[in-house]
Amino acid sequence: MPKKKVVSCVSIEETHVQSHGPLGAVYPDRKWATEGDTPSFLHLFPNGLNNPDEVWQGGWGGRFNREKKAGIRGMSCMSGEDAPYDPYYMYGNTSAGASDISRWSNGYNNDFQARMDWSITSDYSEANHHPIAVVNGDVTKQVLEVSAAPGSSVDLSAAGSSDPDGDSLSYRWFYYRDPGTYNKTVRIDDRTNITPTVNVPSDADGSELHIILELRDSGDPSLYAYRRVIIHVSDNTSIEELKSDIIPKTLKLHQNYPNPFNPETAFNYELPYNSFVTFKIYDVLGQQVITLVDEKQPAGKYHLQWNASDFPSGIYFYNLDADGFTEMKKMLLIR
């Protein structure tokens, strides 16, 4: 079995930081473990890889579980200080641990190096800059969401992607299995081209497939941009209210899809018990624009559609209230 290549922390610091200007020269060698603040910041870094509001999606800052759990404790130096607050719920790390961060190490290490170069030159042409990833005509960095049937194919396109320095671009599309709900292989044709085709497995009914575009330029250092497309595979039902034979274990509001949208989008939520439900949409000023649900509903899974043809472009918020449980998420309408 081949040995796993180990890259020392010192070699990373020497390559990407310490040889780049006077500020980099005083950057210290790491002695112990990686400090914890940087991954927290990188989780919020807008590189198109993830939606920071959905901590389970995974990105430069790692990946967390989809559901909150009780009994997660703080640092080992604590001895019972958090026990009085039980039960409290937090999103915990996945079993993959730090490898959910290191899988993106080329991207964030090169990013650090480029930023060091930016700090020592006033000439734009002397430093490298991030490419701009466009998917299916969308120029934002938001996660895109589309629907597809089992056994169908989804055509994607990175046409319009560019590099501000005129560098050549490399395209890599891949199925990011870990945050999705389908644990088998997903075939992507032309995965290194601008226009790949995702082949949705025939047995992926009701699954969520996460497709990542990794866009890399040819500059020095090579910089990355990303986009994520979540494919929601239908379960061959067209009814508005979707009730599972298995009652959901938790109350959950999902991100709408597609997002951004024009003019229609869909919402899904799950009720583990009978609840009085209100589902309302607000504009960016906090004014209510429409109520989609205002009634008692039994436990189950629910699906709603909204046609925003009569509303202007902009940011909107949708809010689910179920017997005191309240959750709000953001969406973008683009004309």
259: domain CATH number is: 2.60.40.3080
* Cα–Cα distance for residue pair 273/143, rounded to 1 Å: 30
Residue pair 211/57 in contact (Cβ under 8 Å)? The answer is no
Name the token pair of 119: 């700090």
Residue 140 belongs to a domain? yes
Q: Establish if 67 belongs to a structural domain.
A: no
What DSSP line would sit under 44-73, residue for residue? H--SSS--TT-TTS-BTTB-B-SS-EE---
Q: Does pLDDT of 95 surpass 80?
A: yes
Among residues of the chain, what percentage have pLDDT more than 70?
90
Per-residue confidence (pLDDT) for residue 11, from 0 to 100: 65
* Count of structural domains within the chain: 2
Provide φ and ψ at 302, rounded to 5°: -130, 150
In tens, the pLDDT along 39-48 reads 778 888 889 9
Q: What is the CATH number of the domain that holds 134?
A: 2.60.40.10
- Specify the pLDDT at position 122: 86
Average of pLDDT values for 265-284?
Answer: 92
Residue 255 reports pLDDT greater than 50: yes
pLDDT of residue 9: 52
Bond before 312 cis per omega within 30 degrees: no
Among 75-79, 89-93, 244-248, the minimum mean pLDDT is found in 244-248
If you average pLDDT over every residue of the chain, what do you get?
Answer: 87
> Residue 30's pLDDT is what?
73
Domain presence at residue 19: no
HSE on the CB side for 153, CA within 13 Å? 11
Range of 217's domain? 126-233
